[in-house]
Chain A
Amino acid sequence: MIDDRHVPDFHHCSDHCGEQPSILDLPHIPLGLKQEWLELETRRHFLGRGAKALAWAGLASILGRTAPHLLADTGALIDRRPHFAPKAKRAIYLFMAGAPSQFETLDYKPKLAGMFDQDLPESVRGGQTLTGMTASQARLPIAPSFAKFAQHGKSGLWMSELFPNTAKLADDLCVIKSLYTEAINHEPAILSMTTGNMFPGKPSLGSWLAYGLGAINEELPTFVVMTSKIPVRTNVQALSNRLWSSGFLSPEYAAVALRAGNEPVLYLQDPKGVSRDVRRAMIDGVNDLNRQLFERVGDPEINTRISQYEMAFRMQTSVPDLTDFSDEPASTWDLYGPKAKEPGTYAYNCLMARRLAERGVRFTQIFLRTWDNHTNLPTNIKVMCEDSDRPTYGLITDLKRRGMLDDTLVIWGGEFGRTVYSQGTLKPDNYGRDHHPRCFSMWMCGAGTRPGVSYGQTDDFSYNIVKDPVHIRDLHATILHQFGIDHNKLTFKFQGLDQKLPGVLPSRVVPELLV
């Protein structure tokens, strides 16, 4: 229990427009932080408290602030125009969680075939710290890929036999073989990939897009996440809503996670006997109460709650149409495969992603787990590829034939790479691979990415990058660029910093990846 005799008497400086001491009078607080606080306070009250808020806006502008910052978080008042004409209207991010091995998928290393069970030269490893999973191994023996590669299409891209369908798209894919990250373990790595930072609390890529560009379709969420049924019951890594959180941005920019089954959004259906009018009246009543509370305490989360009630109300009509696949032509099932009829599978989610894109959802992120093949890699990766190859191919082919690939960016990849040396048992047809952040492979497709290209190069061991490194910050900058966004200008002031997706370290758009 808190003894309220000892609770200090707080005064709410910003609420009183100079009637009481201002925060600016307080000692020991850097001026920059005081100003940020004033700004936040101004944003909070802007909608509900016209005149006073304007007075504060005036004060903040005297303090050297510009209007767009003040107006952040007031929804309609944010400048949602892209900085320049976008190529991508929407993106579908196929997130291969757990980190697929580059050796069996995209980064063909023929020289390894003759090096089975040889020790990885120390000169290649270069003293790198390994994970706890292999640091104590007596040897680091080389494991060549069991999967065969062949060249495909006019581009001659080398594709793995494990992706026989995706290989048909060789001339459409923009493969990057020289991505790198700092994190060597899943949680920091997957957070870096999804939010640009390995610490929790930053907005995810989809949230930045929702904040920066707004909705195309106001009846559906701007950012949707789907997790897929696990094809293999080993090497399962956890996923959490940290990966699609809006961080310090307003929670309305967080993803709505669609569930598998006949209730994709929980509690969306009205109970029997509750009509749409009754529901409307109830929401109006709750919103009224929430507005009164907002008047009193000025917490922006209350406005978010109001907007979420409204979104839920609209989704009551937009979601049933979205999830009713009965209007799909027979060719859909040929493309995505029969599993697309089973809710929650990766195939189902790919088809759903196309339906979301058609309806104007900006950013759809599908997570497919269990690529984390520390052991039994050949067996497990075969299942993973079989589960995902045809739907991935189906999605891109479907977008292409419907004229949507020109403005839909598709991204495929995990959070880091895997090691050339085997973890544990090593046989030609059975081995494992540990985490490897120094290089990994991904691909993009559509929306002005350069088709039929392989960019960047790793050494013979796919251990170090030898040409054209691409940090994941550069990937983020390039993705934002395709949406017409200058990655250095999409910012939000928080904790004294103009926060942005790629963070403060240098990042660049990679022109070689773009048409």
Chain B
Amino acid sequence: MPMRRAIVLFLASAGLAAAEPATFGSRVVPILEKNCTVCHGAEKQKAELRLDSHAAILIGAKSGEILKPGNAKASELMRRITLPEADDDVMPSDGKPHLRPEEIAVLEKWIAAGAPATAEFDAPAMVPAVIAPPAAPDYRLRLAQANELAAGLGLRLVPRSRVVTDGLVLRTASAPGRCDDAAIAKLAPVADLIVEAELARTKVTDAGLASIGTWQNLAQLDLARTAVTSTGVARLASLAKLESLNLSETKVDGAGVAAVRALPALKKVWAFGTAAEPVAP
């Protein structure tokens, strides 16, 4: 038996992002986009308010200004987002998630600094990675369908989080033996909701990868200990959002890794216990 190598291939650096200066664009806009612009943006303008540009924020709402640059306490925006969750006037409204304390702190600092459009301000350190762009379409309307479909196949499709555009995770750990190529093919009607597929130890083969190769929103794919080969991996070559691929302890060789290397979003491929050669970052 040839010596099995332990190889981790880093195709793109997963290192720390350089600290970006805190500005309206880098720190405030993502918070507003995550929490506010669904109702106060290009599509809807509830209370005649838009929060999708610096100019629009300064114009304010039907009822008047929402900001007093330099004075966070006197700003209507701050008052509304810091009301108790049960208050009728609290924003975001209709039971949508409240802003997180760190998000509120950033807005407060920005207003206190005079609400600058481009200048830097002194923003507090923020817990990272909570604000994410949509990963998949809103799952709410199709979650029941997805659950039913998966349950019938002995699989599970679970929401990645309460954020409805975070997509679904295909979960097989309870019975990996039940997940085969046929089951994978039957998930097609909800495939656009799947952002992560936990397929380690399943019966998926190269044939199943032809189906998975069409799951356009797939970001994480774990195929460890399956029967897939490089032929199958080549069928993933159009997954534009694929970020990580685990091929450990499969029959995949260098050709399989080469077939996906150029994928635009791919950051990591693991090929522990395979014949793949290490590739420089």
Contact = CB atoms under 8 A, between A and B. Distances in A.
Contacts of A402: 224, 246, 248, 270, 272
Interface of A: 79-87, 215-219, 329, 331, 358-360, 400-403, 406, 448, 450, 481, 484, 486, 509, 511-512, 514-515
Interface string B98-112: 001010000000000
Given A84-B130, A85-B160, A401-B270, 8 more contacts: A85-B132, A85-B135, A218-B174, A358-B200, A402-B246, A450-B16, A486-B100, A511-B102
Interface stretch (B59-67, B121-129, B231-239): B121-129
Nearest to B171: A216
B128 A403 contact: no
A360 B166 CA distance: 21
A351 to B, nearest CB: 16
Contacts of B16: 450, 515
B6 A331 contact: yes
Contact of B268 (A80, A403, A481): A403
Interface of B: 4, 6-8, 16, 97, 100, 102, 125-130, 132, 135, 158-163, 166, 171, 173-175, 198, 200, 222, 224, 244, 246, 248, 268, 270, 272-273
A85 B130 CA distance: 7
A484 B161 contact: yes
Given A81-B161, A85-B166, A402-B270, A481 B132 contact: no
Given A83-B161, A86-B161, A511 B125 contact: yes
Nearest to B160: A85
A82 B129 contact: no
Nearest to A400: B8
Contact of A481 (B127, B171, B174, B244): B127
Nearest to B4: A329
B174 A512 contact: no
B4 A82 contact: no
Contacts of A486: 100
A401 B272 contact: yes
A360 B4 contact: no
Nearest to A452: B16
A403 B244 contact: yes
| A interface: dominant SS | loop
* 3 residue pairs, one from A and one from B, having the closest CB atoms: A403-B270, A360-B173, A217-B173
24 contacts: A79-B162, A81-B161, A82-B160, A84-B166, A85-B160, A85-B161, A85-B166, A216-B171, A216-B173, A217-B174, A329-B273, A360-B173, A401-B6, A401-B8, A401-B272, A402-B246, A402-B272, A403-B244, A448-B128, A486-B100, A511-B102, A511-B126, A511-B127, A512-B125
B8 A403 contact: yes
Nearest to A80: B158
Contacts of A81: 158-162
Contacts of A360: 171, 173-174, 198
Contacts of A401: 6-8, 248, 270, 272
B222 A403 contact: yes
A56 to B, nearest CB: 22
B162 A84 contact: yes
A81 B135 CA distance: 16
A79 B164 CA distance: 14
Nearest to B166: A85
A85 B163 contact: yes
A511 B128 contact: yes
A448 B129 contact: yes
Nearest to B175: A219
A18 B248 CA distance: 62
A329 B274 CA distance: 12
A312 to B, nearest CB: 16
A402 B97 CA distance: 36
Contacts of A511: 102, 125-128
A514 B166 CA distance: 20
A212 to B, nearest CB: 12
Nearest to A214: B158
A402 B249 CA distance: 9
Nearest to A218: B174
B110 to A, nearest CB: 17
Contacts of B97: 83
A406 B268 contact: yes
A82 B161 contact: yes
Nearest to B246: A403
